[in-house]
């Protein structure tokens, strides 16, 4: 009861996988859960290590990365509040997960959680649909990495964040905080810090965005940004 109470106060209760569960199911899930905080930069899971952890992201931003043998890095996924972290039905992790900002997680031990998946079809269904969405997102990103120019990549990324974060997504004047530093942006976009920086100032110069400090982003025109991103406005 006390535990369940925590869930009812949870910031991401409705949006996370928990949203698909009844009170009784939620209680079971809650029994195995615990909160944990990670400082920006900390490693949460490591590639080629056994899967030990599943988690809901309560707050913050997590980057999933892969590295080549000689150390080149690519971000293959970003997770925000209410997203789910962890590779179900896999033995070893295929990527690193690191806190891109300070992060708060609601963690489930892997063995207990996999038993719950087997018990509650709704939970499994929810995870399935999220995986399908992740796959769609990954494929969208493949188009960006394979075929888009540096300018288009940066614009696409800002558009992505705007759609996820801005209070009024369709409006001009939307603003948000950039959760990544330039180096992480570069690793996500398949570019270098220098080009990212240059493209950002270029977007500022053309009057499509305004940059406040280094993290504050204000969009003057969603349509022009979508145009610069090389994609249709509705996408």
Partner DNA sequence: CGACATGTTGAACCTCATCAACCGACGTGG
Partner DNA sequence: CCACGTCGGTTGATGAGGTTCAACATGTCG
Contact residues for its own copies, defined by CB under 8 A: 64, 66-70, 72-74, 76-77, 87-90, 94-95, 121, 124-125, 127-129, 131-132, 134-136, 138-143, 145-148, 187, 189-190, 230-232
User: Which own/partner contact pairs does 209-213 have at CB distance under 8 Å and 24+ positions apart?
Assistant: 209/158
Binding partner at 170 among DNA, its own copies, none, C-beta below 5 to 8 Å by kind: none
Distance in angstroms (rounded) separating the CA atoms of residues 60 and 206: 31
Residue 202, both tokens = 């270029």
Which partner from the list its own copies, DNA, none does 95 bind, CB cut-off 5 to 8 Å by kind? its own copies
Distance between CA atoms of residues 182 and 189, nearest Å: 10
Please state the closest distance from residue 179 (CB atom) to DNA, in A.
10
DSSP letters for 71-86: --EEEEEEE-TT-EE-
Rounded to a whole number of angstroms, the minimum distance from the CB of residue 198 to DNA is: 5
Q: Which two tokens stand for residue 87?
A: 């590779």
Can you tell me the distance from the alpha carbon of 163 to that of 57, in angstroms, rounded to the nearest whole number? 19
Q: Which alpha helices (DSSP H) does 65-211 contain, by range?
A: 110-119, 121-147, 150-165, 182-189, 193-205
Nearer to its own copies, 10 or 144 (CB): 144
- Least distance between DNA and beta carbon 66 (Å): 16
From the list DNA, its own copies, none, which binds 139 (C-beta under 5 to 8 Å, kind-based)? its own copies
Q: For residue 207, what are the contacts with CB-CB under 8 A and spacing of at least 6? A: 220
User: Considering CB distances under 5 to 8 angstroms, the limit depending on partner class, which of its own copies, DNA, none binds residue 73?
Assistant: its own copies
Q: How far is the CB of 190 from its own copies (least distance, A)?
A: 3
- Give the shortest CB-148-to-DNA separation in angstroms: 8
């Amino acid at each position: 009861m006390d535990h369940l109470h925590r869930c009812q106060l949870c910031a991401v209760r409705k949006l996370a996988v928990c949203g698909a569960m009844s009170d009784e199911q939620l209680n079971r899930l809650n029994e195995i859960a615990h909160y944990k905080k990670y400082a920006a930069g900390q490693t949460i899971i490591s590639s080629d290590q056994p899967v030990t952890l599943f988690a809901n992201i309560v707050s913050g931003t997590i980057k999933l990365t892969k590295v080549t043998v000689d150390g080149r890095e690519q971000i293959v996924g970003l997770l925000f509040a209410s997203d789910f972290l962890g590779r179900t039905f896999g033995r070893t992790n295929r990527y690193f997960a690191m806190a891109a900002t300070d992060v708060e997680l609601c963690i489930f031990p892997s063995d207990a959680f996999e038993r719950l998946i087997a018990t509650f079809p709704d939970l499994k269904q929810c995870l399935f649909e999220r995986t399908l969405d992740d796959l769609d997102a990954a494929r969208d990103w493949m188009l960006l990495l394979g075929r888009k120019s540096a300018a288009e990549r940066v614009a696409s990324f800002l558009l992505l964040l705007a759609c996820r974060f801005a209070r009024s997504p369709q409006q001009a004047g939307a603003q948000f905080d950039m959760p990544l530093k330039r180096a992480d942006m570069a690793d996500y976009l398949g570019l270098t810090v220098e080009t990212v920086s240059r493209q950002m100032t270029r977007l500022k110069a053309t009057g499509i965005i305004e940059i406040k400090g280094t993290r504050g982003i204000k969009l003057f025109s969603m349509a022009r940004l979508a145009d610069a991103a090389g994609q249709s406005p509705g996408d």
